[in-house]
């Protein structure tokens, strides 16, 4: 997909290019972008570590999609983010598979009330985001998709996320310290898809999830503390049984121990896919080591 994007970018009109892509990592943005930035609709930036003083003074008034792709232990959000008044998609991807990155400059997110898709990967959760709804950083009323991956120190999702009543897709994967979801999940009236793959710290689901009348897809696979058995987790079992009976729900991905719970309903339109656990998987040990390093 990246090669295709680069191909399309290179075939844009050289004067009015709408796609600006950096094909490989550089220390700074291409010099010709100063002329092209005012026309760009899609921008993909590939760099190493960046400080606020490293970013040039550019304006991107027409940009709708921004990809920040980098390999660095520390990274500052571009200072020109506030010029992107039409930004709909923001992807922040730390490509270093061995270490997470510390973000700065996240106050610029307050300017992105029009954002539709937000994807964060391999980041250390910024202190500014740990207010969990007490600050305004997560004020995205029109957000449609929220994706978080490998942010292993994330303990809670921002409560302010529930004010995004347009949200359709929520994906939190490989976030090993995630302990709970917002209690007011029922405010997400448009939510259709929830993916919680490999969130071992998650011990319960809020009962409000049973009021999501548009929920079609639920993935709780590899969530080792969301497994129901006859000795414990009565409240969790009750919640999952109520979820299984939701007429809107069409597909579930879960572990073997929860399979029967979903299949025990009389519904014939609910598809249940079981994920087979891998014995001897040492991913948790690897991630624990990373967590110690970071």
End-to-end CA distance of the chain: 31
The percentage of residues in the chain with a pLDDT greater than 70, rounded to a whole number, is 82
Residues 6 or more apart whose Cβ sits within 8 Å of residue 212 = 185, 186, 188, 189, 191, 246, 248
Distance of alpha carbon 267 from alpha carbon 253, whole angstroms: 16
Q: Which domain holds residue 48?
A: 2-293
CATH code of the domain covering residue 21: 3.80.10.10
Residue 120 has a pLDDT of 94
Given a cut of 50, whether residue 293 has pLDDT beyond it is no
Asked whether 239 and 218 are in contact (CB, 8 A), the reply is no
pLDDT exceeds cutoff 90 at 19: no
C-alpha gyration radius of the chain: 21
Q: ∠130-99-281 over CA atoms, to 5°?
A: 100
Q: Is 57 exposed, middle or buried (0-12, 13-18, 19+ CB in 10 A)?
A: exposed
Count the Cβ atoms, other than its own, within 10 Å of residue 41: 15
Residue 36, H or E segment = helix 33-36
79-124 pLDDT tens trace:
999 889 999 999 999 998 888 999 998 877 777 889 999 999 999 9
Segment 181-189 shows an average pLDDT of 92
Number of domains composing the chain: 1
How many other CB atoms sit within 10 Å of the CB of residue 283? Answer: 12
Average pLDDT over residues 140-165: 87
Cα→Cα distances 271→213, 217, 276, Å = 18, 10, 16
Residue 185 has pLDDT above 50, yes or no: yes
pLDDT digits (tens, 9 = 90+) for 23-82: 888 889 998 898 889 989 999 999 999 999 999 999 999 999 999 999 999 999 999 998
């Amino acid at each position: 997909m990246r090669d295709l994007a680069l191909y399309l970018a290179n075939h844009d009109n050289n004067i009015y290019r709408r796609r600006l892509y950096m094909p490989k990592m550089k220390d700074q943005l291409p010099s010709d972008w100063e002329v092209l930035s005012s026309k760009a609709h899609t921008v993909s930036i590939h760099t190493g570590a960046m400080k606020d003083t490293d970013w040039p003074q550019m304006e991107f008034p027409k940009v709708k999609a921004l990809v920040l792709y980098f390999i660095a232990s520390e990274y500052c959000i571009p200072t020109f983010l506030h010029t992107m008044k039409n930004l709909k998609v923001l992807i922040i991807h730390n490509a270093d598979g061995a270490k997470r990155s510390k973000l700065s400059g996240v106050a610029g997110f307050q300017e992105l009330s029009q954002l539709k898709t937000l994807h964060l990967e391999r980041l250390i959760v910024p202190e500014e985001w740990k207010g969990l709804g007490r600050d305004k950083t997560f004020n995205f009323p029109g957000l449609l998709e929220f994706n978080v991956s490998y942010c292993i120190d994330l303990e809670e999702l921002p409560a302010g996320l529930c004010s995004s009543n347009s949200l359709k897709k929520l994906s939190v994967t490989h976030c090993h310290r995630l302990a709970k979801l917002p209690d007011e999940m029922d405010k997400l009236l448009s939510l259709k898809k929830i993916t919680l793959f490999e969130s071992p710290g998650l011990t319960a689901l809020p009962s409000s999830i049973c009021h999501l009348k548009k929920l079609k897809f639920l993935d709780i696979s590899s969530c080792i503390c969301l497994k129901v058995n006859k000795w414990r987790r009565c409240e969790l079992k009750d919640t999952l049984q109520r979820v299984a009976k939701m007429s809107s729900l069409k597909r579930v991905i879960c572990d073997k121990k929860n399979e029967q719970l979903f299949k025990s309903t009389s519904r014939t339109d609910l598809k249940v896919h079981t994920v087979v656990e891998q014995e001897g998987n040492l991913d948790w040990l690897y991630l624990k080591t990373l967590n110690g390093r970071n």
